[in-house]
């Protein structure tokens, strides 16, 4: 079920009313209803994969209990290894099997062999990377002693399948979200209103920014880059940067705001990343739940930053694996490795993380960081590494052509909406979300709401699926 769909427009109020006014007689009853609603939400896409979600979740809950009851460290580690094998095995089967088979075939062909290796024709379960990582972090935290294993199957299954963030995050830690399923929740009107405001901004970013940029981006990336003006290629890459930001951060805003309607606080997933002044700051602000997951469960176990050489190796490894997490394509691996390489200058100069608030004096650093990110996005968006390389090459080679196209691109409505987005988020860059604080004047505040609602509704195209980019991951 998609957030920008008629089905969800009916689903959400019905679930909200039933949750607070019908199933509010006990915590376990509320959790059971949320579990049912979440399975309906996920099953709306393809009910056949509900069994996979259920088996994966139940398996990790039972493994968590086994880790908790194990008498010695070796037994605990064996149970943890089982969880790793099962969860990563699911990902390897559904997401990476053909990728690795194709890689093995290429190696054998290079040695003059003619291999006949099998491939799988299976549908990738939507959100499998997200809920697998969420469930896996639970068993790791139980193994580390950071969390007590739960014996409540309803609470745990609801934690893994919680519908606002089930298919595209934020990737929640059990230490943060699971306890919220284990304590009584009461309706808070102020939190609910704030949740609706955040959802409104999320819908604006998805429908007005991301979905309106998509046709322009598709046209540029599908064209013959060798005959396309460099300016057009540059704007195509920049527009994709805002398309994916509006798409993914828009989803996160809707998810976080929706969860707040039910009394839950999800983790912040985006913190205005395009105002970053360095790559390290960008990754503290972009897809925060995933970057911190890799930091805590990959980077730190590898040794973290104990030595400069070790830090360099571990950064590259972590980012390369992060790129592979996004998809079974060398473009994603290259995208991740490129971001790891961006870190090298910061490691060499032992740069310290900046925690102050960006100002207009930081504009050169922000623009430089943004362009580094845009270059990497070209690999993310392209169908192959070769195609991405050609795109970047002709963006430079053809830079002197089509200068007049600058005015045409700047005159597009999408450009003005992007500027509006940047202005609003710049004013709110120290807050949780863009609409957290609005003018106290009721008339002005409702005028802002009305403007956003009208503009967003205008951009709803019933012929378009409005599917989120990150659903493929």
Active site residues: 326
Q: What is the SS3 assignment for 20-34?
A: HHCCCCCHHHHHHHH
> Could you write out the DSSP letters of every residue in 388-427?
HHHHHHHHHHTTTS-TTHHHHHHTSHHHHHHHHHHHHHHH
Cα atoms in the 13 Å half-sphere on the side-chain side of 207: 24
Contact 227, 368 (CB under 8 A): no
150 Cβ contact partners less than 8 Å away, ≥ 6 residues apart: 61, 64, 156, 178, 182
Helices (H), 47-168: 50-69, 73-91, 97-110, 128-144, 153-161
CA dihedral 229, 230, 235, 241 (to 10 degrees): 130
Is the CA virtual torsion 321, 317, 278, 400 positive or negative? negative
CA angle centred on 325, ends 282 and 273, rounded to 5° = 15
Lookup result for tokens 């707040």: 260
Contact 198, 446 (CB under 8 A): no
Contact 468, 247 (CB under 8 A): yes
Cα atoms in the 13 Å half-sphere on the side-chain side of 137: 24
SS3 435: coil
d(Cα 285, Cα 296) in Å, to the nearest integer?
A: 16
Residue 294 — φ and ψ, nearest 5°? -65, -35
Which class for 111: exposed (0-12), middle (13-18), buried (19 or more C-beta within 10 A)? exposed
Q: What DSSP state is assigned to residue 329?
A: S
DSSP E strand boundaries for 148-197: none
SS3 297: helix
Contact 127, 166 (CB under 8 A): yes
Contact 300, 457 (CB under 8 A): no
Is the CA virtual torsion 408, 410, 416, 417 positive or negative? positive
Lookup result for tokens 């580390």: 144
Which class for 426: exposed (0-12), middle (13-18), buried (19 or more C-beta within 10 A)? middle
């Amino acid at each position: 079920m998609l957030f920008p769909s008629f089905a969800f427009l009916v689903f959400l109020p019905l679930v909200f009313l039933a949750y607070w006014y019908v199933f509010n007689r006990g915590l376990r009853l509320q959790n059971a209803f949320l579990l049912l609603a979440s399975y309906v939400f996920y099953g709306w896409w393809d009910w056949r994969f509900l069994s996979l979600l259920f088996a994966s979740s139940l398996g990790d809950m039972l493994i968590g209990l086994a880790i908790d009851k194990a008498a010695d460290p070796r037994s605990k580690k064996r149970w943890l290894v089982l969880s790793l094998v099962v969860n990563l095995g699911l990902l390897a089967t559904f997401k990476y099997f053909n990728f690795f088979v194709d890689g093995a075939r290429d190696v054998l062909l290079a040695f003059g062999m003619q291999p006949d290796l099998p491939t799988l024709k299976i549908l990738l379960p939507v959100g499998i990377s997200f809920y697998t990582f969420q469930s896996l972090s639970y068993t790791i935290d139980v193994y580390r002693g950071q969390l007590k294993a739960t014996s409540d199957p309803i609470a745990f299954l609801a934690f893994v399948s919680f519908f606002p963030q089930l298919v595209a995050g934020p990737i929640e830690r059990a230490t943060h979200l699971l306890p919220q399923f284990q304590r009584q929740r009461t309706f808070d009107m102020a939190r609910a209103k704030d949740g609706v405001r955040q959802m409104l901004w999320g819908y604006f970013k998805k429908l007005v920014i991301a979905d309106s940029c998509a046709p322009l981006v598709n046209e540029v990336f599908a064209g013959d880059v060798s005959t396309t003006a460099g300016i057009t290629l540059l704007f195509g890459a920049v527009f994709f940067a805002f398309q994916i930001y509006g798409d993914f951060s828009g989803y996160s805003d809707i998810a976080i705001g929706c969860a707040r309607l039910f009394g839950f606080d999800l983790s912040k997933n985006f913190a205005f990343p395009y105002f970053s002044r360095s790559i390290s700051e960008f990754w503290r602000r972009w897809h925060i739940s995933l970057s911190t997951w890799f930091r805590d469960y990959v980077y730190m176990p590898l040794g973290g930053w104990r030595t400069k050489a070790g830090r360099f190796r571990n950064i590259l490894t972590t980012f390369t694996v992060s790129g592979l997490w996004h998809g079974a394509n060398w473009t994603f691996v290259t995208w991740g490795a490129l971001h790891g390489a961006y870190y090298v200058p910061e490691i060499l100069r032992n740069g310290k993380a900046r925690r102050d608030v960006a100002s207009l004096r930081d504009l050169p650093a922000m623009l430089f960081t943004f362009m580094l990110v845009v270059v990497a996005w070209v690999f993310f968006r392209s169908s192959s590494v070769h195609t991405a390389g050609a795109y970047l090459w002709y963006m430079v080679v053809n830079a002197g052509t089509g200068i007049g196209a600058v005015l045409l691109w700047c005159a597009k409505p999408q450009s003005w909406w992007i500027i509006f987005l940047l202005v609003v988020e710049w004013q709110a860059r120290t807050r949780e979300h863009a609409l957290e604080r609005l003018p106290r004047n009721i008339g002005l505040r409702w005028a802002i709401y009305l403007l956003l609602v009208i503009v967003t509704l205008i951009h709803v195209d019933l012929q378009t699926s409005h599917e989120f980019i990150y659903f493929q991951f």
